[in-house]
Structure 1
Amino acid sequence: MPTSASQSEVNIAPFCAYFQAALPQLETDYTWSIPQSFEEYGFRGRGYEANKQLKYHFSRLWHETDREGREELARKIVSDWGGVRANRPETLVRYIDWIEHERSVWPKQGVASYSKILSIVAPDKFAIYDARVAVSLIAIQYIFGSSRGVLFHYVPGRNKTTGDNKGRGFTNHPRFKSRALKHVGWTRLRPNANYQTYLDTLNRVANQLWQQTQFQDLLLCDLEMSLFANAERLALRAMNLAEQD
């Protein structure tokens, strides 16, 4: 049984089917709040448009500021906006060093943090990969008919629906634990290939959708924001389907 996969082995049909249905609802589905600390940059409120504008504004700031300014932006993006508060300052510095040296291999460890930074460094090239996104990637393949999908790596989470360290939710469900999926033929990605394969998959989906008139203005971040916004809904749908089998 294979233990790793390449981008060519990711079947994008389930993802295209999901996004065709979900993207028209993105502005309603995405409700993430902007923290109060960002009011100094002129951003407040919640929702799709506000967060998209924030991302592109911070991207401009990143390229206009010096190293000290980038470290402060990284802290705000990861801790305040992203809600990941466990990183030590030296860890964020290491992520910035990776980014500035145009690293070509991205490890699994720390992806929920460094992908947030990448998503504002180059929002048209990089997307956030976190616990919610990982669950959506698995759930979509299951819901839309992949009996043997590609097993993207889970990221530790705190949500009782998508999965937490108390044994609750999707990632702890007997059908959707990593070893269970691998046992029934899902192909596991190498840890250091996980993030790049995710990006490659999103780009392949985007290229497919751009051929349709209604998606010609589609942004890469739209795909990631939809995965994030609908993670709980997708997790519940997949678990309900599993119980019916």
Structure 2
Amino acid sequence: MALRWKPTIPEDNNPDDQTGSLRHYPFAQVVRVQSGPDQGRFRWYLNELPGATTIKKQGVEESLEAAKQAADEQFRSWLTWTGLAPAVTEPETVPVASSTASPAPSPPRPVDPPEQRLPRYLAPLCEGLAAYVEEHGPALDSLYRWKIPAVPAFVPFERDSDSLPKANARLKRALSAAWHTQPERQFEIAEWYVAKWGGVHNRPEKLWGYIAAAEDELAGSGTAGVASWSKLLAVRDPDRFAIFDARVSVALNALQIVQDHERPIFFPPLPSKNTKIGKFHEWMKARDHGDAHKAFPARAYGIYLRILSEVARQLELAAIDEVEMLLFAQAEDLALQAMSHPSDAALPAIAAE
């Protein structure tokens, strides 16, 4: 099932802005980039696809047809993943006659796609977090209270009647579209989202460094500045990346204590001005085996993303930021629960590796 492509605004009949639909529902869009390093090329996007945490959602191609083809391929991958379309199989080859008999081939052994394999040591945390999200996720609209300041005029966004979680998720995708189609505005977007929306202030040269860095370079750079650069990664690709800050880190650590995980994976304590978060850091430090939970910070963000993706897959969530927002919203509550947990033994710990 291929998408049917038409001009996004029929009256304009603009060949540089097209929408791909199936049965009148718009699943994808292709637009010509107007400025910046990708000027003249075509960027494609897929709209939110339920459960599609491992499907590529956007990209840039040299031509309109190549961009539409790339979007079609990812859309078909999603259809196959959901079971709505059969998987593509290789054509059968006709065996060449031979005078010697050959043994019958063994039946193929099913292998999970690499992105769906979960390291064994992450399973308890993913299962525990999935259970927590399943219990508390329905109340996210009332739990998440992060307000949205005045949005830059060049970003097409209105909150309308959406709840704060839904509005913030939609805002992130509006910023992402502006980031890719208006690259000359990237510093303005970064400064607004990190400082005005997120409350984290950086020197201009630091922000420029984050903007210039490749995604994988940032994701593997440790935890220094993660509260800033993870916001920019989430803007670049909100379906692949999520914000990671002190509250989220505390929520993950506290959840494992509350749920009595036998071998918890403690994430590094990140800087915070929040006194409750700071108190939890001190409580952890007094009860932990040295500083084992601070080890391997270069891999902490990647593990965090892997956990969010797995939980979103298990619960068939539309996007990973649903999990991130719940962790952010519940950090203080989980920290208080952990500090009043009956067990007063020293905390077992392994590094987030």
- State the TM-score bracket (shorter-chain normalisation): 0.7 to 0.9
Q: Which amino acid counterpart does residue 191 of structure 1 have in structure 2?
A: P
Q: Which amino acid counterpart does residue 202 of structure 1 have in structure 2?
A: L
Per the alignment, residue 199 of structure 1 pairs with 305
Q: By how many angstroms is 1:180 displaced?
A: 3.4
Q: Which protein is richer in helix relative to its size? A: 1
Q: Alignment partner of 1:128: what SS?
A: coil
Deviations 1:193-238 (A, max 9, x none): 011111011112222222xxxxxx4311101000101111111111
What's the % identity of the aligned pairs? Answer: 36
Q: By how many angstroms is 1:104 displaced?
A: 5.8
Q: By how many angstroms is 1:102 displaced?
A: 6.0
Per the alignment, residue 120 of structure 1 pairs with 235
Q: Which amino acid counterpart does residue 80 of structure 1 have in structure 2?
A: K
Q: By how many angstroms is 1:76 displaced?
A: 0.7
User: Is 1:16 aligned to 2:122, yes or no?
Assistant: no
Q: By how many angstroms is 1:98 displaced?
A: 1.4
- Contact 2:172 2:238 (8 Å CA) reproduced: yes
Q: By how many angstroms is 1:150 displaced?
A: 0.5
Q: State how 1:1-245 maps to structure 2 within 5 Å.
A: 8-10=120-122, 11=124, 12-36=126-150, 38=151, 40=153, 41=155, 42-43=157-158, 47-66=164-183, 68-85=184-201, 87-99=202-214, 105-163=220-278, 169-173=279-283, 176-177=284-285, 180-183=287-290, 189-210=295-316, 217-242=317-342
- Indicate how the Cα distance of structure 1 residues 159 and 7 shifts in structure 2: closer, same or farther if over 3 A, else same: farther
Supply the distance in 1 between the matched residues of 2:177 and 2:307 (Cα, whole angstroms): 26
Higher relative contact order (CA 8 A, sep 6+): 1
Aligned alpha-carbon RMSD (Å): 2.5
Q: Which amino acid counterpart does residue 9 of structure 1 have in structure 2?
A: Y
Q: Which amino acid counterpart does residue 172 of structure 1 have in structure 2?
A: E
Q: Which protein is richer in strand relative to its size? A: 2
- Contact 2:194 2:231 (8 Å CA) reproduced: yes
Supply the distance in 1 between the matched residues of 2:295 and 2:120 (Cα, whole angstroms): 12
Q: Which amino acid counterpart does residue 323 of structure 2 have in structure 1?
A: L
Supply the distance in 2 between the matched residues of 1:142 and 1:119 (Cα, whole angstroms): 28
The runs of 5 or more residues in structure 2 that have no matched partner are 1-117, 346-353
Q: By how many angstroms is 1:43 displaced?
A: 4.2
The runs of 5 or more residues in structure 1 that have no matched partner are 1-5, 164-168, 211-216
TM-score by length of 2: 0.58
- Indicate how the Cα distance of structure 1 residues 101 and 124 shifts in structure 2: closer, same or farther if over 3 A, else same: closer
Supply the distance in 2 between the matched residues of 1:7 and 1:26 (Cα, whole angstroms): 28
Supply the distance in 2 between the matched residues of 1:43 and 1:243 (Cα, whole angstroms): 47
Q: Which has the larger radius of gyration?
A: 2
Q: Which amino acid counterpart does residue 166 of structure 2 have in structure 1?
A: E
- Contact 1:18 1:144 (8 Å CA) reproduced: no
Per the alignment, residue 20 of structure 2 pairs with none
